[in-house]
Amino acid sequence: MNIVLAHGILGFNIVLGIEYFNGIKEHLEKKFNAKVLATKVDPVKSIKDRGAELRNLILAALGKTGTIPTLNPKENVHIIAHSMGGLDSRLILSPRNPDNIASVVSSLTTVGTPHNGSPVADLCVSFLDGKSPIPAVGTIERKIKDSIQALGVSDGLRDLTTTSATNFNKDNIDNPGVRYFCVAGHGRGLSLTKFLRLDFHKTCLLLLPFHEYMKLKTGEKNDGVVAITSAQRSGWKVVSDPWPVDHFEEVGHNIDRGPTGTPTVFDYLRGYENIIENVR
């Protein structure tokens, strides 16, 4: 069995001994005797650029570009993609993409992917464009804009906005030769990451966790970045009830871990086992 793990924006394979998909590759290899490829594409570029890289990595791993295969060339691939990685994957499977590789991919399962975009991306891009919904923040707005520009992440963020998602969904239809599945998350909501909002009733700025900002914008539960209805793409099979985790813990990283932090209560490795049992 071939499994490909595709990371999200600002993602990586392994950095300083830390895996993006924390322990997931090794666990799936042992549990299912599978060949698992943890990919690494540009962390900040557009879906188009990241998708092209992902496509090439998969073909190379199957030995279709003259390279020594690291996956089983006799078997198709099951992609598990987190966050933006799910959009990269949809692009390279869409029948409207003349370079699609649906012929070698059996299934795509997305975890916390913003299929309908993310209001957090909308907010970040509003700072970039000088159109912040938060009036008169002055220096704070400039600092946020400078930070986003320093990361070089503007192209990727723009592709994650709700407007871009609408256009992406029109242009990248599902491939009838591929089976599609999805998983959503809702949980503590990146509670160490605060964002500004304007409380119009008190006319003052408050610090708010991402998931509360998201709830204000969408009126629904979310993982701090992606609302449940955005992660659960219409027409796809939902693998399970939403995982009780935030966006980071969907790939095994508990940012609240510590003496005063909230302990991990969800067995995310079992969650990935469930995904593989489903696609099998």
Q: Domain containing 73 — which CATH number?
A: 3.40.50.1820
pLDDT band at residue 17 under the 50/70/90 scheme? confident
The mean pLDDT value for 243-257 works out to 86
The mean pLDDT value for 61-72 works out to 96
Q: Hey, what amino acid is at 69? A: P
Task: Say whether pLDDT at 188 is over 80.
Answer: no
User: What is the predicted pLDDT for the residue at 209?
Assistant: 60
Partner residues linked to 274 by β-bridges: none
Domain membership flag for residue 149: no
The mean pLDDT value for 68-93 works out to 97
Domain membership flag for residue 29: yes
The mean pLDDT value for 64-74 works out to 95
Q: How many domains does the chain have?
A: 1
Domain membership flag for residue 123: no
pLDDT single digits (tens) 261-271:
555 678 999 99
Domain membership flag for residue 216: no
User: What is the predicted pLDDT for the residue at 143?
Assistant: 64
Question: In this structure, what is the dihedral angle of CA atoms 264, 266, 269, 271, given to the nearest 10 degrees?
Answer: -160
- CB neighbour list of residue 180: distance below 8 Å, 6 or more residues apart: 107, 108, 109, 174, 233, 235, 236, 237
Domain membership flag for residue 217: no
Domain, as residue range, for 262: 2-117+163-189+226-279
Domain membership flag for residue 138: no
Higher pLDDT, 90 or 147: 90
Provide the pairing of β-strand 179-183 with 237-238.
Answer: parallel
pLDDT band at residue 184 under the 50/70/90 scheme? very high
Task: Say whether pLDDT at 73 is over 70.
Answer: yes
* Strand segments (E) across the chain: 2-6, 14-15, 18-19, 35-38, 77-82, 105-111, 179-183, 194-199, 204-209, 237-238
Domain membership flag for residue 213: no
pLDDT single digits (tens) 117-151:
998 888 888 777 777 666 545 555 666 666 666 65
Task: Say whether pLDDT at 255 is over 60.
Answer: yes
Average pLDDT value over all residues in the chain:
85
| CA 98 – CA 92 distance, rounded (Å) | 9
Burial class (CB in 10 A: 0-12, 13-18, 19+), 266: middle
Task: Say whether pLDDT at 277 is over 90.
Answer: yes
pLDDT single digits (tens) 189-235:
544 343 333 333 333 333 446 666 677 777 888 998 999 999 999 99
User: What is the predicted pLDDT for the residue at 124?
Assistant: 81
User: What is the predicted pLDDT for the residue at 187?
Assistant: 78
Provide the pairing of β-strand 77-82 with 105-111.
Answer: parallel
Domain membership flag for residue 44: yes
Q: What is the DSSP letter of 220?
A: S
User: What is the predicted pLDDT for the residue at 172?
Assistant: 97
